[in-house]
Amino acid sequence: MQRNHYHFLITGILFILILLIPFSGSSQFLGYKILGDRKKVSLPIEIYNNLIIVPVKLNGVIPLKMVVDTGVRSTIITDKFITDILRLPYSRKITVAGPGDYVMLEAYVINKIDMVFKGVVGTDQSILVLEEDYLRLRNYLGIEVHGLIGYDIFNRFIVEVNYAKKILTLREPGFYKPPKRYNEIPITIEDTKPYVSADIAINEGTRFAGKFMIDTGASHAILINESSNEDIDIPEKNFKTIIGRGLGGPISGKISYINEITIDRYSFSDLIASFPDPDSYPDTIGLVYRNGTIGGELLSRFNVLFDYNNEKLYVSKSNRFKKPFGYNMSGLTVIADGEELKTYKITDVRENSPAFEAGIRIDDTIEFINGSSMDKVGLNEVYKLFNFGKGKKINLVISRNGERKNFRFKLIDSLAPDK
Question: Would residue 326 count as lying in a domain?
Answer: no
Amino acid 248: pLDDT: 60
Residue 246's alpha-carbon distances to 78, 97, 118, 252, 298, in angstroms, are 13, 13, 32, 10, 22
The answer on 96 and 193 residing in a single domain is: no
The answer on 339 and 271 residing in a single domain is: no
Residue 92's alpha-carbon distances to 75, 122, 123, 151, 269, in angstroms, are 16, 22, 20, 22, 48
- Put residue 308 in one of left, alpha, beta given phi > 0 → left and psi -120 to 50 → alpha: alpha
Strands 403-410 and 393-400, bridge-based pairing: antiparallel
CA triple 60-64-66, angle to 5 deg = 120
Question: Would residue 159 count as lying in a domain?
Answer: yes
Residue type at 311? E
The answer on 251 and 148 residing in a single domain is: no
Amino acid 97: pLDDT: 55
Residue type at 117? F
The answer on 206 and 292 residing in a single domain is: yes
The answer on 288 and 212 residing in a single domain is: yes
| Number of domains the chain contains | 3
Q: Which of 141, 171, 201 is the last residue of a domain?
A: 171
- Look up the CATH number of the domain holding residue 349: 2.30.42.10
Q: Are the C-beta atoms of residues 7 and 243 closer than 8 Å to each other? A: yes
Amino acid 286: pLDDT: 54
Amino acid 360: pLDDT: 97
Q: Which of 317, 351, 380 is the last residue of a domain?
A: 317
The answer on 309 and 372 residing in a single domain is: no
The answer on 162 and 44 residing in a single domain is: yes
Residue 358 structural domain? 332-410
The answer on 200 and 150 residing in a single domain is: no
On the CB side of 182, how many CA atoms lie within 13 Å of its CA?
19
Can you give the pTM of this predicted structure? 0.90
Question: Would residue 239 count as lying in a domain?
Answer: yes
Q: Are the C-beta atoms of residues 152 and 32 closer than 8 Å to each other? A: yes
At 226, is the secondary structure helix, strand, or coil? helix
- Look up the CATH number of the domain holding residue 101: 2.40.70.10
The answer on 282 and 154 residing in a single domain is: no
The answer on 200 and 167 residing in a single domain is: no
Question: Would residue 214 count as lying in a domain?
Answer: yes
Q: What is the DSSP string of 111-179?
A: EEEEEEETTEEEEEEEEEEESS-SS-HHHHHSS---EEE-HHHHHHSEEEEETTTTEEEEE-TTS----
Query: Tens place of pLDDT for every residue, the chain, 419 residues?
Result: 334 444 555 444 444 344 444 444 443 444 799 999 999 999 999 999 899 999 999 998 899 999 999 988 889 999 999 999 889 999 999 886 554 444 567 899 999 999 999 999 999 999 999 998 888 889 999 999 999 999 999 999 999 999 999 999 999 998 788 888 999 999 999 999 999 999 999 988 788 999 999 999 999 999 999 988 888 989 999 999 888 776 566 788 999 999 999 999 999 999 999 999 887 766 544 568 899 999 999 999 999 999 999 999 999 999 999 999 989 999 999 999 998 899 999 999 999 999 999 999 999 999 999 999 998 888 888 988 998 888 999 999 999 999 999 999 999 999 987 65
The answer on 111 and 211 residing in a single domain is: no
Amino acid 231: pLDDT: 85
Amino acid 10: pLDDT: 47
The answer on 187 and 166 residing in a single domain is: no
Question: Would residue 273 count as lying in a domain?
Answer: yes
